Amino acid sequence: MPSHFVLAQPDFLPTTSREMVDLGWDELDVLLVSGDAYVDHPAFGVPLLGRWLIANGFRVGIIAQPRWDTLEDLHRMGRPRLFAGVGAGALDSMLAHYTAFRKLRRDDAYTPGGTSGARPNRACIVYTNLLRRAFPGLFVVLGGIEASLRRIAHYDFWTDRIRRSILLDSKADLLLYGMAERGILELARLLASHTNHAEASGFSSPPFAPQRPDVLSLLQIPGAAFACRPEELPVLHSVLELPAQESIQGSPGALLQATELLEKHVHQGRDTALHPSGDRLLVLTPPAAPLLEMEMDALYELPFARRAHPAYDKPIPAAEMIASSITSHRGCGGGCSFCSLALHQGRRISSRSKRSIMEEVVRMGDATHWKGVVSDVGGPSANMWQATCARDKDMEKKHGLCRRASCLHPKICRFFRVDQQDQVAMLEDIRSLPGVRHVRVASGVRFDLLIQDPQAAGRLIQGFVGGQLKLAPEHTSNTVLNLMRKPSFAVFEQFLDLFQRQSARAGKQQFVVPYLMSGFPGCTDRDMVDLNYWLRRKGWRPQQVQCFVPTPGTMATAMFHAGKDPMGNPMHVARSDAQRLAQHRILIPHSPEQGSEKKRNKKAKLRDGKKRSK
Ligand code: SF4
């Protein structure tokens, strides 16, 4: 079937050959393999891309959480005509499997029944190898957060070493980093034209698989990474040289430099980045442009079922959590140094129109299970809907491209524009829709932005908090906050004061749920004691304390690895698990991690006792 045909969107994307037959499809164009269960909701990346490709005329099927000790699951719908896409899931598979103290998790919110074990460690690598065995010669592309954040040489916390790009380790043909709608569509069109040509020449099926596109064609795909020999690369005009894999492996400082350059590559969005690795060159094309409002609307208005595939007999915790939530925008201008989003979604915000968001709420009202509560309207940060950068082309000509790592730190950039009143007005309009009882803001709110407009803050606090507001002050130490690229603690205290006054004015008992972090690079035990002292004075017993996990690709992880701040100055880092646990315990004396350590100590004592008695 030619790929430009308009295809009807199915109720669910097919997951078996039977479902393909029901749709009248004799083969797939694209097979997507996911480490998460299949939930047909726009918050899940693989179904989102699947529906996007179908809307553009490609037949797409999903294999979710395939078994990795057999090829049976992958063979279920046959060899796809164009390519297979691989995503580890909403989280890096190592992060999904292990706690901050490298203990195996028992739960997995993205799996039926909420239990772990349905996806392998390093899922991108394992799934790509399976696909290579199931369909020799098939073009395989990686995407999603695991691939995106491991696109060049990176620090791997779980093995405490530098690993090379996941593209090289997996032997996939291409990697799409960041939000992949533009890249995957370009790739599908490119491979379709190659395949059509091969079919016309009579070489249509394996082993006569269409040839891999040449370097010039791959350079046209936005937000892509591929490997080639240096001599294959044509002369490029705008190039960003990243440190080579070997120098990152040889010097921790080189990882700091590489991360800084990679942030610049994503944010400035102009250059092709080059990362030498052994005798090959990893080429990163410029990032895909953020989607325009009309493109965001079209994407989120696709007919998602908003629930898990009916084949599952157990509930999927993540699906339940997001069933009645609405994505209003993507991207975050905050650029916090520990957040993977800065490198994945980028700092430029793509927003949906108010019309599109309100229509989604109306469609949600048609579902029988809906109880009239919109559980969240937001994005990575709740209050950046319709945020823009007012720095124009003239400014760019005069002063060059923006070089800041964050639009909000160390202070809010004078070009950052966001109208908090508009956002609250949108929430009020949603609340006035027939059948809507409550509208909540459950995504994290950037209080440093909200406090700029106390009137809008008052309306949000009085009307949309639902008793609890999640805020991420993260720490009380301004040194640590500065390293995190977060606002100073005084700003949080000012906001807290405003929150309490506005809640009292509304006659509501409302609470702030503070997100705090231990073990951050640069944070000392003394800093943790000070934070604990502040909490005690407030009478707070925080539940949301996360020990810093050095996830691949972030600036904070580079600082953790190097033991230096971004300026190259040495600083204290709680490196060992014991040091990190000691910091964590200052806030959470009875954490489960402590429990398990107590058990281990008890077992060790028993063992020692037995040895002595022998
Ligand atoms: S100029 Fe300011 S608002 Fe624009 S991208 Fe740079 S930091 Fe952000």
- Angstrom CA distances, 348 to 179, 220, 251, stand at 12, 21, 32
Q: Which residues contact 311 (CB under 8 A, 6 or more apart)?
A: 15
Counting from 1 in the atom list of ligand 1, the atom nearest the Cα of 403 is 6
Q: Whose CA is closest to atom 4 on ligand 1?
A: 389
Q: Whose CA is closest to atom 8 on ligand 1?
A: 407
Query: β-strands 511-518, 545-547: how paired?
Result: parallel
Task: Please list every protein residue whose CB sits less than 6 Å from any atom of ligand 1.
Answer: 333, 389, 391, 402, 404, 407, 413, 415-416
The CA 371 to ligand 1 mean position distance, Å, reads 40
Alpha-carbon 170 to chain mean position? 20
* Ranges of residues in the chain whose predicted pLDDT is under 70: 1-5, 202-211, 367-368, 590-614
If one residue of 402, 411, 449, 485 were mutated to test the ligand 1 pocket, choosing by the most ligand atoms within 8 A of its CB, it would be: 402
The total of other beta-carbon atoms located within 10 Å of residue 322's CB is 19
Q: Whose CA is closest to atom 7 on ligand 1?
A: 407
Question: 372, 474, 493: which is closest to 432 by C-alpha?
Answer: 372
Q: What is the pLDDT of residue 608?
A: 44
Counting from 1 in the atom list of ligand 1, the atom nearest the Cα of 416 is 3
If one residue of 350, 411, 415 were mutated to test the ligand 1 pocket, choosing by the most ligand atoms within 8 A of its CB, it would be: 415
Counting from 1 in the atom list of ligand 1, the atom nearest the Cα of 413 is 2
Q: Which residues contact 252 (CB under 8 A, 6 or more apart)?
A: 561, 562, 563, 564
Contact at 8 Å (CB) between 448 and 493?
no
Q: What is the pLDDT of residue 289?
A: 95
| Torsion sign, CA atoms 369, 371, 374, 375 | negative
Question: 238, 247, 248, 253: which is closest to 284 by C-alpha?
Answer: 238
> pLDDT tens for residues 247-281?
999 999 999 999 999 999 999 889 999 999 999 99
If one residue of 336, 386, 388, 389 were mutated to test the ligand 1 pocket, choosing by the most ligand atoms within 8 A of its CB, it would be: 389
Counting from 1 in the atom list of ligand 1, the atom nearest the Cα of 390 is 4
The CA 399 to ligand 1 mean position distance, Å, reads 13
Counting from 1 in the atom list of ligand 1, the atom nearest the Cα of 417 is 3
Q: Which residues contact 579 (CB under 8 A, 6 or more apart)?
A: 519
List beta partners, residue 376: 325
CATH 3.40.50.280 in the chain, residue ranges: 17-224
The CA 397 to ligand 1 mean position distance, Å, reads 15
- Angstrom CA distances, 31 to 72, 269, 458, stand at 14, 29, 48
The CA 48 to ligand 1 mean position distance, Å, reads 29
How many residues in the chain? 614
The CA 395 to ligand 1 mean position distance, Å, reads 11
CATH 3.80.30.20 in the chain, residue ranges: 328-604
307 by DSSP, 3-state: which? strand
Q: What is the pLDDT of residue 199?
A: 74
If one residue of 350, 416, 485 were mutated to test the ligand 1 pocket, choosing by the most ligand atoms within 8 A of its CB, it would be: 416
Alpha helices in 485-575 (DSSP H): 489-505, 525-538, 555-562
The CA 414 to ligand 1 mean position distance, Å, reads 8
CATH architecture of the domain formed by 17-224: 3-Layer(aba) Sandwich (3.40)
Q: What is the Cβ-side half-sphere exposure of residue 449, based on CA atoms within 13 angstroms? A: 27
Counting from 1 in the atom list of ligand 1, the atom nearest the Cα of 333 is 8
Residue whose structure tokens are 């993540």: 318
The CA 378 to ligand 1 mean position distance, Å, reads 21
The CA 416 to ligand 1 mean position distance, Å, reads 6
Question: 417, 421, 426: which is closest to 356 by C-alpha?
Answer: 426
Counting from 1 in the atom list of ligand 1, the atom nearest the Cα of 267 is 5
- Angstrom CA distances, 564 to 169, 321, 336, 526, 559, stand at 28, 38, 17, 19, 5
The CA 556 to ligand 1 mean position distance, Å, reads 21
CATH number at 328-604: 3.80.30.20
Counting from 1 in the atom list of ligand 1, the atom nearest the Cα of 404 is 7
Q: Whose CA is closest to atom 3 on ligand 1?
A: 416
Contact at 8 Å (CB) between 271 and 237?
no
Counting from 1 in the atom list of ligand 1, the atom nearest the Cα of 348 is 5
Alpha helices in 207-353 (DSSP H): 215-218, 245-250, 252-268, 293-300, 317-322, 341-344
If one residue of 391, 395, 406, 414 were mutated to test the ligand 1 pocket, choosing by the most ligand atoms within 8 A of its CB, it would be: 391
If one residue of 266, 384, 395, 407 were mutated to test the ligand 1 pocket, choosing by the most ligand atoms within 8 A of its CB, it would be: 407
The CA 513 to ligand 1 mean position distance, Å, reads 29
pTM of the model: 0.92
Q: What is the pLDDT of residue 607?
A: 47
Q: What is the pLDDT of residue 397?
A: 79
Q: What is the pLDDT of residue 1?
A: 46
The CA 522 to ligand 1 mean position distance, Å, reads 26
The CA 413 to ligand 1 mean position distance, Å, reads 6
Dist. CA 76–CA 265, nearest whole Å:
40
Contact at 8 Å (CB) between 321 and 109?
yes
Q: Whose CA is closest to atom 6 on ligand 1?
A: 402
Dmax (CA) of the chain: 82
The CA 528 to ligand 1 mean position distance, Å, reads 32
Give me the DSSP letters along 78-109: ---SSEEEEE--SS-HHHHHB-TTSPBPSB-T
